[in-house]
Amino acid sequence: MSERGPKAVPASLLQRSDFATACATGDYAAVLSIVRKYGGIGFTNSHLARRIGVTPSRIAEYLSGTRRSQDIDLIRRICDGLAIPGHMLGLAPRPWEQSTADWARAHGMPVADALEDGRGLLFPDGALIPTAENPDLTRAAHKWIIASPEPLEGIENGGRVDAAILDRLFDVAQQLRITDDHYGGETTFTLVEPEVRFALRLLSVGSFTPEGRAKMLRIVGELTQLAGWAAYDAGWHRTANRYYATALRAASLCGDTMMGVYVMSSLAFQAAGELQIEDALDYTASARAGGAHVLTPGVRSLLDTWDARALSLAGPDQRERFRRSLGSAVQHFERRDAEQDPNWLYWFVHPESMAEIGRGYTRTGDPQQGLSVLARGDDDGVASERDKILYDIYRAEALAGLGEIEEAADRAIRAVHANSRTAAIGQSRAVGYLRDLGQVLSKHTRQPRVRDLHEILKLA
């Protein structure tokens, strides 16, 4: 009979900084606690006990801190039982460990260590790019992307990449952006990552006119920026940073300053989400300085909006700075001419209608205004089910701030159900926000809907 339950911790957990720290410091109570809390469905005390080879009561003792151990045999059993890479626990590579690329595939994630392709452009790990061992470029192209592979056959031997192929690839990048509007996270990454590899292979083996090579680099920049965003959305923050580094390098090589600004704004969004507030503000400041000669009012409004978001995440003490940045964002937005904006800014709506700004008011101590902004966003029409999930979560946070506990829990439950029935399943940001809200509401467990929420979140 095969063993029930998961055999390996999920990739998103391996990338958590608290998990890496617990492993590195030998805090095995913390290791098991994080696995228990964030490993997902199936990581019960009984399952951990089976995988590690101890009793459930012993697991409970480790989790409570009543029993501690530095036994090397326990370390090995945790490592092997949960498929944690040996180096994370200070061990040599385990016999079951595969090559880095194979391990990444097994965990459903990329390996994004940087390498040089010999032309000065940083790419994700070459093991995930078609190589001399698997040189057939046509197999890297999805049929839904390149309807006919014949034009690619000569490129493998250094043939010219013509304008038709470049135009099609550019269209694909835009289609994938729209896909991300509705799915996001790991789902989007699964679609984008093969196209990144395809584009990088094409750049490596094909020949181009100077104009064609510049356009190919722009396509690489578009795809790797989107891969970085999707990786961030999935909770793979280090992977996201490496894709963003690739996108910045591509933007630099082809002289696309506006693409560089977009990548910097993405880095700012991620840094703020990790509560690295000053880093986030530095990224937007760098984007303004480096892109001063190309910024449109719309792009300036975006950068101001991300400043406001970052400041709101710093808490109520930054309320005035939050409001000043938001005011600047609104002023720039009112001077916006969408025809001047880069194509990637199509999704940007009035800052005072954005979910992130509604949440910002709540975070800075004004949940009533937060609710007003979130309602306005709904009135303006939220584009996708994925966005509606975030609006519901942020509304629940505002309701909790107003003391409307049952209504907050009800709104959060609605978001959990929506997240589980859409293709945004496991959307890391949404699940993380919901867990945080669950902690906020934990003091109100006498309320029936709060208890319901806690039960549902155990399975999320």
* Domains of the chain, start order: 11-100 (1.10.260), 114-255 (no CATH)
122 - beta bridge partners?
A: 116
The residue with tokens 């029993």 is: 67
Amino acid residing at 362: T
User: What is the Cα–Cα distance from 312 to 316, expressed in whole angstroms?
Assistant: 7
Q: Based on the number of CB atoms within 10 Å of its own CB, is 134 exposed (0-12), middle (13-18) or buried (19 or more)? A: exposed
By the 8 A CB rule, do 306 and 332 touch?
Answer: no
H-run or E-run covering 140: none
Question: In this predicted model, what pLDDT tens digit does every residue of 365-390 receive, in sequence order?
Answer: 888 888 888 877 665 555 566 677 77
Compute and round to an integer the Cα radius of gyration of the chain.
Answer: 24
Per-residue pLDDT tens digits of the chain, which is 460 residues long: 334 445 677 767 777 778 887 887 778 888 888 988 887 767 888 888 888 888 888 888 888 887 776 667 778 888 888 888 777 777 766 655 543 334 334 444 343 333 233 233 333 333 333 333 333 333 333 333 343 444 455 555 556 777 877 888 888 888 888 777 766 777 788 888 888 888 888 887 778 888 888 999 999 999 999 999 988 888 888 888 888 888 888 888 888 889 999 999 999 999 888 888 888 898 888 888 888 888 999 999 999 999 999 998 888 888 899 989 989 999 999 898 888 999 888 888 776 667 788 888 888 888 888 888 887 766 555 556 667 777 888 888 888 888 888 877 878 777 777 666 554 444 566 677 777 777 777 777 787 777 777 777 665 5
User: pTM higher than 0.85 for the full model?
Assistant: no
What is the CB neighbour count within 10 angstroms for residue 325?
25
Q: Please give the backbone phi and psi of residue 82, each rounded to the nearest 5 degrees, phi first.
A: -110, 5
Grouping H, G, I as helix, E, B as strand and the rest as coil, residue 115 is strand
